[in-house]
């Protein structure tokens, strides 16, 4: 056996095997695409048959056989066009046109074919117009198919893209396979070489077509693997996405790529609606879990389904998902919970294969794990938040207790010391140092207690009392003159009075608080600048010191409850860390804003913006509350000035403090 023969027999064997394999598939599943594929591979098999018949002694150039042989070429390219239509869409006019031309050509071949004049060539047997026509037809069809497959390969993803790529390669080989012998015919001396090249091209083409149109399961899985692998490695990070919706969208995308379809969608079981909730590009739809749809059935029976005929198996879904004709669906469930369904649709039947059932089941299981883990994450976040609140409450409680007990210890001890001294030595002069200490410690305690009570009121949104026409400049000057010392001079700067409607007591409190803060962090002799102005219907004031500044990292938290300076031992000043929180609440309840600007070593500026007039309805509400003495829903909750509140849910400081267990019993 020569190498040439070996090649030929191998090629034949491959053709026959592919033909048998595709025919078996077509018989099992007599879908148009499967039948087309089988018919497509029938044609080269017929050529083999013809050659074999020649081997048995039948005259190869007898007109009927020759006619069939020639007619196989336009038939082959027509079948190819049908396959393009099976995988994507060919305009119907083009299909009709190619069919018409095919009939014309085949009829022409059978009517005009003459017995050959010589045995070396059969090309001259056709009239030249038909020959030209045939060549143009085959060329044009092949060209169209190559372009169509390449386009399809580029527009699809994953396994489908690879299959279309293989089909395009197969078509290119086929084109070469048809035209190389024509060249060979022109160079008779090297016909043997061309025969080998032609056989190889035919073999390559048929293998490419086989893997493209009807890939064996192993190859299909291998082709799905890169996308699947990439997706699965990405999937572990999905539960960290901001929302469950985002997670589902991301999963749908990854699943679609892995299966090789344009779109996959996940329906999540909605308890309230008692249906599967799908959200496709923002459009929400519900699918009942019943026998009416494959999706519903998949959820109902907890089983994966595959249909190549959506119209027959699920008319409703076929209408809803037109032009999709094929569906694959798998339930998303954990052992304890039925979460939903993962579905993938495709517009062309051969995109999916039965083997995809195991893939979609795998993906659905993965989805179950991820969605469940997301739910667990959310639950653990809730638990953490609750724990964080508890911890903050405990921290606050212990800090508050400490801060209150320290001056109390001094007060009790000092008072009892004075008492004992007076008993021992009734004639002694007044112990002025002790009296001063008691007075100072009592003030310290008073500040702390008031701060706590204010914070409790702030939590309820009930800090403000009567609003009255006030000049902020006058308040600033009063606070300034009361607190100014040689160590910390104070300078008020204002071009004109700043008159508006405010709660005077609370606004004074803001001034005092910010002023004390400024003094606290200022070096000896550092001037505290207070500036007031109006702009439009807003009043502004800023308090600037020349102190050490606030680290940037503290900016976001200084207005929050419980924030204390990092130096916790600075007990003389530390207070409860509620001062700035109360300031912010007072400003907020005036519908104003407070902000801070600071640079390391350049001091800190707090700026407050207040509307000169409170909204009409607000003022009336306040008045109404006063008149009726009722506690109508707090106006502070009206989102007129939405400000980011603390990250944590509202903690009523009052509750924390007053619901505290008695801890002095030790």
Partner 1 sequence: MSLASPPAILVVEDDTVILNTVSEILELEGYNVERASNGEEGLRAVERALPRLVLLDMRMPILDGWGFVRALKERGIKLPIIVMTAAQDARRWAQEIDAQGYLAKPFELLDLLAAVEDIQSPP
Does 620 interact with partner 1 (rule: CB under 8 A)?
Answer: no
Does 446 interact with partner 1 (rule: CB under 8 A)?
Answer: no
Nearer to partner 1, 32 or 440 (CB): 440
Does 423 interact with partner 1 (rule: CB under 8 A)?
Answer: no
Stretch that binds partner 1, among 166-174, 195-203, 234-242, 396-404 (CB under 8 A): 396-404
- Rounded to a whole number of angstroms, the minimum distance from the CB of residue 410 to partner 1 is 4
Q: Which of 229, 311, 384, 571 binds partner 1 (CB under 8 A)?
A: 571
Stretch that binds partner 1, among 163-171, 306-314, 577-585, 658-666 (CB under 8 A): 658-666
Look at residues 372, 404, 146, 158 and name the one whose alpha carbon lies nearest to residue 258.
158
Stretch that binds partner 1, among 50-58, 399-407, 574-582, 621-629 (CB under 8 A): 399-407
Does 421 interact with partner 1 (rule: CB under 8 A)?
Answer: yes
- State the pairing for strand pair 275-280/283-287: antiparallel
Q: Kindly report the backbone phi and psi dihedral angles of residue 287, in degrees, each rounded to the nearest multiple of 5, phi listed first.
A: -125, 125
Q: Kindly report the backbone phi and psi dihedral angles of residue 282, in degrees, each rounded to the nearest multiple of 5, phi listed first.
A: 90, -15
- Rounded to a whole number of angstroms, the minimum distance from the CB of residue 398 to partner 1 is 6
Q: Which of 369, 417, 474, 651 binds partner 1 (CB under 8 A)?
A: 417
Q: Which secondary structure element, helix H or strand E, spans residue 229, and what is its range?
A: helix 217-235
Residues shown for the chain: 666
Q: Kindly report the backbone phi and psi dihedral angles of residue 620, in degrees, each rounded to the nearest multiple of 5, phi listed first.
A: -65, -40
- Rounded to a whole number of angstroms, the minimum distance from the CB of residue 582 to partner 1 is 23
Query: Peptide bond preceding 26: is omega within 30 degrees of 0, i.e. cis?
Result: no
Q: Which of 311, 402, 600, 626 binds partner 1 (CB under 8 A)?
A: 402
- Rounded to a whole number of angstroms, the minimum distance from the CB of residue 519 to partner 1 is 20
Provide the 8-state DSSP code for 308: S
Does 663 interact with partner 1 (rule: CB under 8 A)?
Answer: yes
**How far apart are the two ends of the chain, measured CA to CA in Å?**
107
Does 96 interact with partner 1 (rule: CB under 8 A)?
Answer: no
Nearer to partner 1, 375 or 442 (CB): 442
Q: Which of 252, 308, 441, 585 binds partner 1 (CB under 8 A)?
A: 441
Nearer to partner 1, 416 or 556 (CB): 416
Q: Which of 217, 315, 413, 615 binds partner 1 (CB under 8 A)?
A: 413
- Rounded to a whole number of angstroms, the minimum distance from the CB of residue 414 to partner 1 is 5
For 366, 590, 618, the CA distances from 637, given in Å and listed in that order, are 44, 12, 11
Does 406 interact with partner 1 (rule: CB under 8 A)?
Answer: yes
Nearer to partner 1, 441 or 618 (CB): 441
Measured distance CA(379)–CA(549) in Å, rounded = 40
Q: Which two tokens stand for residue 471?
A: 């000049």
Measured distance CA(392)–CA(403) in Å, rounded = 16
- Rounded to a whole number of angstroms, the minimum distance from the CB of residue 664 to partner 1 is 7
Does 666 interact with partner 1 (rule: CB under 8 A)?
Answer: yes
Q: Kindly report the backbone phi and psi dihedral angles of residue 461, in degrees, each rounded to the nearest multiple of 5, phi listed first.
A: 75, 30
Does 486 interact with partner 1 (rule: CB under 8 A)?
Answer: no
Q: Which of 420, 446, 600, 626 binds partner 1 (CB under 8 A)?
A: 420
The strand pairing partners of 610, in sequence order, are 539
Nearer to partner 1, 628 or 664 (CB): 664
- Rounded to a whole number of angstroms, the minimum distance from the CB of residue 395 to partner 1 is 12
Does 391 interact with partner 1 (rule: CB under 8 A)?
Answer: no
Does 597 interact with partner 1 (rule: CB under 8 A)?
Answer: no
- Region class of 236: left (phi > 0), else alpha (psi between -120 and 50), else beta: alpha
Q: Which of 230, 232, 401, 619 binds partner 1 (CB under 8 A)?
A: 401
Given a contact cutoff of 8 angstroms between Cβ atoms, the answer to whether 586 and 508 are in contact is no
Q: Which secondary structure element, helix H or strand E, spans residue 574, and what is its range?
A: helix 571-574
Exposed/middle/buried for residue 625 (C-beta within 10 Å: 0-12, 13-18, 19+): middle
Place of tokens 């007129």: 640
Q: Which of 569, 627, 629, 639 binds partner 1 (CB under 8 A)?
A: 569
Nearer to partner 1, 332 or 400 (CB): 400
For 211, 235, 517, 643, the CA distances from 555, given in Å and listed in that order, are 63, 36, 15, 15
Exposed/middle/buried for residue 659 (C-beta within 10 Å: 0-12, 13-18, 19+): exposed
Q: Which two tokens stand for residue 382?
A: 């809730």
Q: Which two tokens stand for residue 466?
A: 């009567």
Q: Which of 405, 520, 563, 564 binds partner 1 (CB under 8 A)?
A: 405
Q: Which of 8, 22, 171, 437 binds partner 1 (CB under 8 A)?
A: 437
Site for partner 1, rule CB under 8 A: 398, 401-402, 405-414, 416-417, 420-421, 424, 437, 440-441, 569, 571, 663-664, 666
């Amino acid at each position: 056996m020569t190498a040439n023969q070996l090649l030929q027999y191998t090629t034949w064997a491959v053709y026959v095997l592919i033909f048998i394999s595709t025919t078996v598939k077509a018989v099992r599943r007599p879908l148009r695409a499967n039948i087309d594929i089988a018919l497509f591979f029938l044609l080269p098999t017929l050529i083999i048959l013809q050659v074999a018949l020649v081997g048995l002694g039948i005259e190869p150039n007898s007109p009927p056989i020759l006619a069939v042989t020639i007619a196989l070429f336009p038939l082959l390219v027509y079948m190819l066009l049908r396959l393009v239509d099976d995988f994507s869409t060919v305009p119907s006019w083009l299909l009709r046109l190619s069919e018409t031309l095919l009939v014309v050509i085949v009829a022409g071949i059978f009517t005009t074919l003459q017995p050959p004049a010589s045995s070396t060539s059969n090309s001259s047997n056709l009239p030249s117009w038909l020959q030209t026509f045939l060549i143009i037809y085959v060329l044009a069809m092949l060209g169209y198919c190559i372009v169509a497959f390449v386009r399809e390969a580029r527009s699809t993803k994953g396994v489908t893209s690879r299959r279309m790529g293989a089909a395009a390669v197969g078509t290119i080989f086929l084109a070469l396979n048809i035209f190389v012998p024509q060249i060979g015919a022109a160079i008779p001396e090297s016909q043997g070489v061309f025969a080998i090249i032609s056989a190889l091209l035919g073999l390559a083409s048929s293998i490419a077509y086989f893997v493209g149109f009807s890939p064996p399961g192993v190859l299909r899985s291998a082709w799905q693997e890169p996308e699947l692998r990439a997706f699965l490695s990405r999937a572990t990070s999905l539960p960290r996405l901001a929302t469950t919706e985002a997670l589902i969208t991301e999963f749908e995308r990854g699943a679609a790529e892995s299966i090789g379809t344009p779109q996959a969608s996940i329906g999540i079981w909605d308890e309230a609606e008692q249906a599967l909730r799908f959200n496709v590009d923002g459009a929400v739809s519900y699918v009942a879990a019943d026998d009416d749809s494959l999706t519903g059935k998949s959820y109902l029976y907890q089983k994966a389904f595959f249909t190549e005929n959506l119209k027959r198996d699920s008319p409703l879904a076929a209408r809803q998902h037109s032009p999709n004709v094929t569906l694959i669906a798998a339930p998303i469930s954990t052992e304890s919970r039925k979460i939903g369904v993962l579905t993938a649709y495709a517009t062309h039947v051969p995109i999916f294969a039965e083997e995809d059932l195991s893939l979609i089941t795998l993906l659905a299981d993965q989805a179950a794990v991820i969605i469940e883990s997301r739910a667990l994450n959310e639950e653990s976040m809730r638990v953490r938040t609750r724990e964080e609140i508890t911890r903050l409450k405990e921290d606050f409680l212990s800090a508050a207790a400490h801060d209150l007990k320290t001056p109390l210890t001094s007060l009790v001890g000092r008072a009892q010391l004075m008492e004992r001294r007076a008993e021992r030595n009734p004639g002694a002069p007044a112990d002025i140092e002790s009296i001063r200490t008691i007075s100072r410690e009592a003030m310290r305690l008073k500040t702390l207690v008031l701060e706590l009570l204010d914070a409790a009121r702030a939590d309820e949104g009930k800090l403000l009392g009567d609003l009255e026409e006030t000049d902020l400049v006058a308040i600033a000057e009063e606070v300034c003159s009361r607190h100014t010392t040689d160590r910390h001079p104070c300078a008020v700067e204002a071009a004109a009075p700043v008159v508006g409607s405010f709660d005077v007591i609370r606004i004074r409190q803001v001034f005092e608080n910010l002023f004390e803060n400024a003094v606290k962090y200022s070096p000896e002799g550092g001037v505290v600048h207070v500036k007031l102005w109006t702009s439009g219907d807003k009043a502004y004031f800023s308090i600037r010191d020349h102190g050490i500044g606030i680290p940037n990292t503290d900016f976001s938290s200084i207005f929050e409850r419980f924030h204390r300076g990092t130096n916790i031992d600075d007990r003389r000043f530390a207070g409860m860390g509620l001062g700035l929180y109360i300031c912010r609440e007072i400003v907020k309840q005036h519908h104003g804003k407070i902000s801070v600007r600071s640079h390391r070593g350049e001091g800190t500026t707090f700026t407050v913006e207040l509307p000169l007039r409170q909204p009409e309805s607000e003022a009336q509400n306040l008045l109404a509350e006063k008149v009726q003495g009722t506690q109508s829903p707090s106006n502070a909750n009206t989102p007129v000035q939405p400000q980011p509140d603390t990250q944590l849910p509202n903690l009523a400081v009052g509750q924390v403090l007053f619901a505290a267990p008695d801890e002095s019993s030790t």
